[in-house]
Amino acid sequence: MSFIMRREKKQFDDDTLLKNFDESIERHDLYNFEVKLDYGIKKNFTKNIYELTSYLFIPNALQINKSTYSKDQFFADRNNYLRFRTARMSLSGLLNKKNELSPFNMILSKLSLIKNGNYEIQIIKKISYELRVMGCIIKSNLRDQIEFFISNLTNFEHSPADYKSFVSYIDDVKSLQVQMQNLKVEFQLIQIPAELKETFSFVDEYISNQIEEFMTLLLHKSNFNDETREKLISLIEYEQNHKKQVNSKILIEKGSDNKSVVYWKSILKKFVQGVLYLDLNQKDEKSKILEFLYSVAAGLAMFFSALLGFFIVSQFQDQEWAYVVALVIVYMLKDRIKENTRALFKGIVQKYYPDRSFEIYDKNNKMKIGSCKEIAEFIKWGDIPNEILQIREASHKSMIEREGKPEIVLKYSKLIELHTIKISENHKRHLNINDIIRFNIKNFLQYEDDPISNEEFWDPQENKVINIPCAKVYHLNIIFKMKMPNKQIKYKKIRVILDQKGIKEVLEPTFTL
């Protein structure tokens, strides 16, 4: 397992894109931060097993503890998505007619079968799948390349080779536009189900918007010569005209509120990228086990009450009042035995069985490819592993700092098991899985103080006491311990800085072990 970065900056190469990680965790919005992990499928293991343990060090002032914050609340605040990582493919590789892994070539190959009269449902589904995968690859490529170019604009002025690679990439984008137009003609000339035509229309609109957005971003951030600017403007205006021709719902117009743009962008994104997402089917093993053990508890209570009943009959049969009182006591004991035994069994189940367990399904191939188990619990300070404490305290500036800001510790454990053969047999391009964990901190804000505190300050320049606003923030420190299939262990630490209004920023403090 490794932390995958939110944005991957990549150097341009004709056949491959070289990865250079930038960041792994981000502030998603005012109330959510997001962690993205990457589970690589190592073929020398029959099962790829990844263990993630997270320790949340929560300021005591936030009043998040076992009494106020349940496991159900924690899992409700934590959204989790598993998806295949987008395949890495350059635009030139995507358009290469000899590339067997190119979605373009797979789509054209299946369309030729339809032209010859083969309308099998599997062919239709394969075309739909490849169209959406193509949209994901193009979006990922544009994002990574444009961010790389923007971050290296100054190098182009001094390196003709770098500038040549940039111009070559812009030419590839133009070739992509031509190929998309040709593909559109192919879909118009053959008889295919309306749903498949609509799929192409959605993907085409999605790709068109991605090209326009990233070329516009590049144009805005750059200061190229007139010739290069004209090339970029030509690419942008081509997509704008294309959107007009297809009556796109995401065409931005001056003088309009453009109220449908953001909505339909979200629809297109979820439709196209949804092809990579995996289904998590929750298993309720704990409830089934508890139902059985609760039945055992009821049986034990009944057994002891019957046993005591026979004893009372034999001892107090001639003493009516004693007989009645004894039976009442037996009834009370039966109820207590039942409840105490249920509580005992519940504690055992919670200790040895996961809070939640899932089967991971590849919905496109309709097969189970793995499993996931999760446990969340508040733990005592003495139960924290030494290396975790060392990492937590590495940022303390003095020995008494921890005592001055006591913390509650919430431990979240996750076990991911992936079936190597099933994944590698059905996927040649998608051999890694992204685990996207998004956490909502709204429940952490209700007991926070006002975000601004005014402090009185003597100003020598103004020769008077003035009020200076000071931000009131809280630090939520999280330490991740990740164990890979090869037993290698990695650690990562993040700090989420909060105030009463939400998340201000997310940092990654450095530490040494």
Encode the chain (513 residues) as per-residue pLDDT tens digits: 444 433 333 333 333 222 322 347 888 899 999 999 889 888 888 999 999 999 999 999 999 999 999 999 999 999 989 999 998 899 999 999 999 999 999 999 999 999 888 889 999 999 999 999 999 999 999 999 998 888 887 777 677 777 888 889 999 999 999 999 999 999 988 888 899 999 999 999 999 999 999 999 999 887 778 888 899 999 999 999 999 999 998 988 888 888 889 999 999 999 999 999 999 988 766 666 666 666 766 677 666 666 666 666 666 556 665 656 666 666 666 667 767 776 665 666 556 677 888 999 998 888 999 999 999 999 999 999 999 999 988 766 555 555 556 899 999 999 999 999 999 888 888 778 999 999 999 999 998 888 888 888 888 988 999 998 888 899 999 999 999 998 889 999 999 999 999 999 999 888 877
CA-to-CA separations, 343 to 161, 294, 336, 355, in angstroms, rounded: 71, 9, 10, 16
If asked whether residues 151 and 221 sit together in one domain, one would say yes
Same domain as 287, residue 243: no
Exposure of 491 in the CB half-sphere (CA atoms within 13 A): 17
- If asked whether residues 201 and 337 sit together in one domain, one would say no
Query: Does residue 164 belong to any structural domain of this protein?
Result: yes
Helix (H, G, I), strand (E, B) or coil at 86: coil
Pair 225, 137 in one domain: yes
326 φψ region: left (φ > 0), alpha (ψ -120 to 50), beta (else): alpha
| 391 within domain boundaries | no
Six token digits for residue 330? 């037996």
Residues 203 and 315 in one domain: no
CA dist 110 and 376 (Å) reads: 47
Could you tell me the residue range of the domain that residue 244 belongs to? 91-279
The last residue of a domain, from among 236, 251, 279: 279
Asked whether residue 124 is assigned to any structural domain, the reply reads yes
Total domains in the chain come to 2
Same domain, 257 and 311: no
The amino acid occupying position 23 is E
Whether residue 357 lies inside any domain: the answer is no
Please indicate, yes or no, whether residues 227 and 180 belong to a single structural domain of this protein.
yes
Q: Are residues 141 and 211 in the same domain?
A: yes
Are 51 and 375 in contact by the 8 Å Cβ rule? The answer is no
Q: Which of 261, 279, 297 is the last residue in one of the domains? A: 279
Q: How far is CA 258 from CA 220, 236, 248, 261, 488, in A?
A: 21, 19, 12, 6, 51
Residue 28 lies in a domain: no
In a domain, 172, yes or no: yes
Residues 304 and 335 in one domain: yes
- Asked which of 352, 383, 415 is the last residue of a domain, the reply is 352
pTM: predicted TM-score of the whole model, two decimal places: 0.78
Q: Identify whether 10 is part of a domain.
A: no
Residue 467 lies inside a defined structural domain of this protein: no
133 in the same domain as 259: yes
Query: Which residue is listed with tokens 């395949």?
Result: 87
Residues 267 and 297 placed together within one structural domain of the fold: no
Domain co-membership, 210 together with 286: no
